[in-house]
Amino acid sequence: MQLTPRAYQLAIYNSVTQHGNTLVVLPTGLGKTLIALMLIQDRMKLGRCLILTPTKPLAKQHQHSVMKTLELSEKNVALVSGEVAPKKRKEAYLTDVVVSTPQTIRNDLENGVLEPRFSLVVFDECHRAVGDYAYTQVAEKLHGPDTLFLGLTASPGGRMDRIREVMGALKIDNVEIRGHDDSDVAPYVQKSEISWVPVLLSDHFRDIKKELDAMTARHAERLASMGFPPPLKHKGKFMQLRERILNIPHAIKYPALIQYSILLHLLHMTELLETQGIYPLRGYLAKLEEKDSKSAVQLLNEPGIAKVRQLCQKDEDHPKMGVLVETVNNLKGKKMIVFVQYRSQIARIEEVLKAGGISARQFVGKKDGVTKKIQEETIADFREGKFDVLVASSIGEEGLDIPAVDAVIFYEPVPSEIRAIQRRGRAARLKEGQVIVLMTKGTRDEYYYYAANNRETRMKKILGGMQRAKKKKAQEFASADRLDPGKPADAGGAEAKAAPERKQAPQKEKKAGQTKMGDFL
């Protein structure tokens, strides 16, 4: 089959073949998969290829794409999971293309079930290659001069240290990034209207917030008097403060940890109130009452908590709920995803939407009786149009074959630029779409919204700089070669890196034809 890439996909493919291990950063819906398929088609001649992806449903989707596009059968493309017996997995690993999750591959490499020899390894959603995630161990065991690594993501993160960590873990020094505004991408981009809707807290909510803020101020002052002024407006730095307290060899450590834990509870309660509403806050208070830690006991005995409990007895949804119902009604007849941070709120939103005559269904992780089968049935029904609104947790952001939609609604902004990009990417893939962000004014919602935007801008600047630096260096080498034609070929060039040709496994005979771009978007 003749693959027909767009200009930017071909340029990225050529960069990978020329420079080796590469990080490819493309917005969701712009065809990262096609680049991987082009490389698989080439590298199968040198040896087995491996596609790694975070979830089993996405692995199944990749297997289908490879078979359909390259006209291969299950004899050539094996889907491997830990549910398959080791003996059968060992046989499956002999196929041309293996699709699996990194946990299965890591375990089989460690147990000797899998031989660490591949010509190509594709790390899908490669921004996960940090810390102890299985991608890092797999990359360590599989990297070598004959193995090409390809990392695919919509966003590796907005901090230089995180980007460096991902690239280091995957042995990558070549970067290819494209955005919607790039000249070779713009002709293929569907318009996506992004808007945010300001929401004001009600008087009742402000009364509860006043009590929480007063308690937060008192405990922040106490912690500061112990030598640890808490950065209340910066969640990341506040979380790091705990390590500082733990590392001091002083008796003040334990009283400080109690104050820190109380503050952590109060900050989370405030966030729930500001961004979600009374029902999730009420649920958190109930869980707090089940704890017997010193911080929980001390906090629950405060008069302010008694007042908060009393105020929370009144049933009242967050003002966002009414705005959400109105927004969904205005988009009636369109397919939508509503992304929500907290599970308890997802159930409430589904309930309210249904009560308003809107066909909605929740989509959450495998917990509280939700099985893989239920998840698959929900997605299948959504694809077939049996309901209009999918109310999803973070599980809907990546790693599952959720169809493109007309509109994506953020019930709240998220501070992670990775998650924000993943959410937005569900809209405007094959047609125009809308992205709507509900934001409570003067709360953490605003901070998270702008934090994610700033991090995304910083990410593009960092990766763009890396890409330009790499190209400049390549041009300098090329200029030097032209000035000195007698100079021997660069030992690190693509020719020197090419693996010795191996016997190609039998493949299904390919037919002439072309692949449609829609198959990869």
Based on the domain organization, do 341 and 285 belong to the same domain?
no
Based on the domain organization, do 298 and 250 belong to the same domain?
yes
CA dihedral angle for residue 14, residue 17, residue 21, residue 22, rounded to 10 degrees: 10
- How high is the pLDDT of residue 400? 59
77: helix, coil or strand? strand
Q: Which residues contact 375 (CB under 8 A, 6 or more apart)?
A: 57, 363, 366, 395, 400
Q: Do the domain assignments include residue 494?
A: no
Q: Which residues contact 433 (CB under 8 A, 6 or more apart)?
A: 190, 191, 192, 193, 404, 405, 406, 407, 408, 427
- How high is the pLDDT of residue 398? 64
Query: Measured between alpha carbons, how far is 30 from 185 in angstroms, rounded to an integer?
Result: 8
Q: Where are the beta strands (DSSP E) in 37-109?
A: 49-52, 77-80, 97-100
Please count the residues of the chain. Answer: 521
According to DSSP, residue 404 is labeled P
Task: Answer for the pair 242, 257: CB distance below 8 angstroms, yes or no.
Answer: yes
- How high is the pLDDT of residue 481? 60
Q: Do the domain assignments include residue 492?
A: no
Tokens of 327: 């927004």
Percent of the chain exceeding pLDDT 70 equals 87
Which of 279, 311, 343 is where one domain is finished? 311
Can you give the pTM of this predicted structure?
0.73
Query: Measured between alpha carbons, how far is 472 from 479 in angstroms, rounded to an integer?
Result: 11
Q: Do the domain assignments include residue 505?
A: no
In order, the DSSP letters of 344-384 are: HHHHHHHHHHHHTT--EEEE--S-TT--HHHHHHHHHHHHT
User: In whole numbers, what is the pLDDT of the chain averaged over residues?
Assistant: 86
CATH code (residue 150): 3.40.50.300
CATH code (residue 215): 1.20.1320.20
Angle between helix 343-355 and 278-290 (nearest 10): 140
Q: Do the domain assignments include residue 503?
A: no
Based on the domain organization, do 35 and 137 belong to the same domain?
yes
Query: Measured between alpha carbons, how far is 424 from 435 in angstroms, rounded to an integer?
Result: 6
Task: Answer for the pair 387, 360: CB distance below 8 angstroms, yes or no.
Answer: yes
Task: Answer for the pair 402, 390: CB distance below 8 angstroms, yes or no.
Answer: yes
Q: Which residues contact 221 (CB under 8 A, 6 or more apart)?
A: none
Which of 273, 295, 311 is where one domain is finished? 311
Question: What tens digit of pLDDT does each residue of 296-328 get?
Answer: 999 999 999 999 999 999 999 999 999 999 999
Q: What is the largest CA-CA distance in the chain?
A: 85
Element counts in the chain: helices (H) and strands (E)? 19, 13
pLDDT tens string for the chain (521 positions)?
557 889 999 999 999 999 999 999 988 777 889 999 999 999 999 999 999 999 887 888 899 999 999 999 989 999 998 888 888 999 999 999 999 999 999 999 999 999 999 999 999 999 999 999 999 999 999 999 999 999 999 888 888 889 999 999 999 999 998 877 788 887 877 667 789 999 999 999 999 999 999 999 999 999 999 999 999 988 888 999 999 999 887 889 999 999 999 999 999 999 999 999 999 999 999 999 999 899 999 999 999 999 999 999 999 999 999 999 999 999 988 999 999 988 889 999 999 999 999 999 998 887 767 888 888 899 889 989 999 999 998 877 765 566 678 899 999 998 888 888 778 877 655 456 789 999 999 998 998 888 888 888 888 888 888 888 777 776 666 666 655 655 544 444 443 344 444 334 444 344 334 444 334 34
Range of the domain at 34: 7-187+461-482+512-520
- How high is the pLDDT of residue 484? 61
Q: Do the domain assignments include residue 454?
A: no
Helix (H) or strand (E) holding 436, with range, is: strand 433-440
- How high is the pLDDT of residue 305? 96
Based on the domain organization, do 225 and 323 belong to the same domain?
no
Tokens of 452: 């994610």
Tokens of 38: 């082009």
Q: Do the domain assignments include residue 497?
A: no
Q: Where are the beta strands (DSSP E) in 174-309?
A: 174-177, 192-199
Q: Report how many domains make up the chain.
A: 3
Q: Do the domain assignments include residue 111?
A: yes
Q: Do the domain assignments include residue 506?
A: no
Based on the domain organization, do 414 and 300 belong to the same domain?
no
